[in-house]
Amino acid sequence: MKKIVSLLFLIIIIAGCKGYKTDKQAEEAYAESDSTWIADTVYNDGLRYCYGTVWTGDRLLISNFGGDTFDPLDVSGKGYIMQLKDGKLSPYLNADELNSPKGMAVMDNLLFVADVNCILVFDMNNLNSKPQVIPFAPGEVFVSDLAVVNNWIYASVRDASLVYRGQIVDKANIAATDMEVYTVEVSGPNGIDIYNDSIFIASYPLNDSIGMRNSIYLDMNINTLNPQLYKLENLPGYYCGVAYDGKNKTLYYTDNIDGQLRSENMLNGNNKLLFPEKIMLSPQMLTVADGKLYVPDADVSRLYVFTVK
């Protein structure tokens, strides 16, 4: 099966070369894009600088910074998590340990939350219990997004330009998880998503210094010791969230330049602007689940829900 998956992604990469253009070609292709998507619903009640999303199987969780300003490094303990279930928003988790919660991931009954300088791990069967904590080095404060596969947790640390991974061996002692460096090749790694043995990584400019390294990356085999990263986007951007839809072989991603929501079909390389520019201000971590695409817009505290076409 792994050989089949690897072969499929090799074919996808070859086909995707049609979308790997020079800057001029890419700009021309973007100019021809159709902004055809309309949001099913836009939610805002109870949201305050919403940043990350994750699907748990029957509901969407949305992380919020809270507070009076959009500050991803605020440590005043005002963060919280909302839930969207059956079309209604309601509180899910408001723990003292939540500061500026960002990307999330779910493994069995455990909710992993990226926060300032750490990953918080909550027992979803007992939300009142104290979370376990996976700490990072003192200078690594912008833990941005998380993804899980089997018993492995992957974490992007944007300010350090590092992506870590660790195997969860003892769920009762997650703090002892050995987080090893997975790659140092992505500048400002931000949103991440895993599909089978492949990982997608969005790159955000450090100190607003945008350059050709700020792209969307793909490693087709996360099991190798030396990641082989392919650039999927040739126009530099402020890339935030990524979500891969395996059913439609389509990658969705956000770019904070003009609040773009884009997609790329991995079989034919077609790249589209899905939603009119300059409506969203700061689209962040995406989730594709149950035929829907969920997009939080942090600056204006809104959650957009689209039907995947």
- Summarised one tens digit per residue, pLDDT across range 216-273 is 999 999 998 889 999 999 999 999 999 999 999 999 999 999 999 999 999 999 999 9
Strands 250-255 and 162-167: unpaired
Instruction: Look up the pTM and report it.
Output: 0.90
Local confidence band at 52 (pLDDT 50, 70, 90 cut-offs): very high
Non-local (6+) Cβ contacts of 78 within 8 A are 65, 66, 67, 99
Give the dihedral sign, CA 206/212/215/220: negative
Least confident stretch, 9-23, 236-250, 275-289: 9-23
Which pLDDT score, from 0 to 100, does residue 5 have?
Answer: 37
Query: Which long-range contacts link 3-9 to residues 24+ away (Cβ below 8 Å)?
Result: 5/196, 5/197, 5/198, 6/197, 6/220, 6/221, 9/198, 9/218, 9/220
